[in-house]
Chains A and B, each alone.
Chain A
């Protein structure tokens, strides 16, 4: 069974540039999560979807971050006008079913904003 796939693996930007991250969850998983993991810290939830609907985006900086999952499968996370403080690994995870099911993570995109 294929795992969660993310691309790109790495991104290096200047402040003010935009970047998009792509995630393909495990087939059949209806719930998709985006986490931000700063260096040497735990993953912090940004947003999650059930099918195509956003369930919680309260931790997503809405002025510069956006996330979509239009067909309830793949998802894109976009940062407009990146800041140095956005430097982190962005992890996508998926699960099947309702709350408290096992999450499986992709390898993440390591973002450096210079």
Chain B
């Protein structure tokens, strides 16, 4: 099966700076990589995703990079705001089974 490692587990940044979260995966058959944001007591919400036919995707202050050779993908949040404080999860989906495997999450705190 797939294994997804996510780092760091805790990330504290100053408001207005950028934040980066990195994930690696093992299964070369994985071809879909979503990112979810989860606030306390809430469900995970999809914020951005990237498929293996792309290397970069950007939307509303979020940038996702995918390096298929290195089996690595990352989320970059530019100009962070206190409202960005939450748990963030990366995930990888196996094209053969459709199973989505999650990393263990990053707790992001944006300090005013």
Contact = CB atoms under 8 A, between A and B. Distances in A.
Contacts, number: 59
A38 to B, nearest CB: 10
B46 A56 contact: no
B102 A43 contact: yes
Contacts of A4: 43
Given A56-B97, A91-B44, A102 B102 contact: no
The B contact surface, by secondary structure, is strand
A107 B93 CA distance: 22
A63 interface: no
Nearest to B34: A102
The A contact surface, by secondary structure, is loop
B84 interface: no
Contacts of A91: 43-44
Interface residues of B, number: 28
A100 B50 CA distance: 10
Contact count band on A: 20 to 34
Nearest to A104: B46
A40 B102 contact: no
A98 B91 CA distance: 17
A21 to B, nearest CB: 14
Interface of A: 4, 31, 33, 40-45, 48, 55-56, 91, 98-108
5 contacts: A42-B103, A43-B44, A104-B46, A105-B43, A105-B44
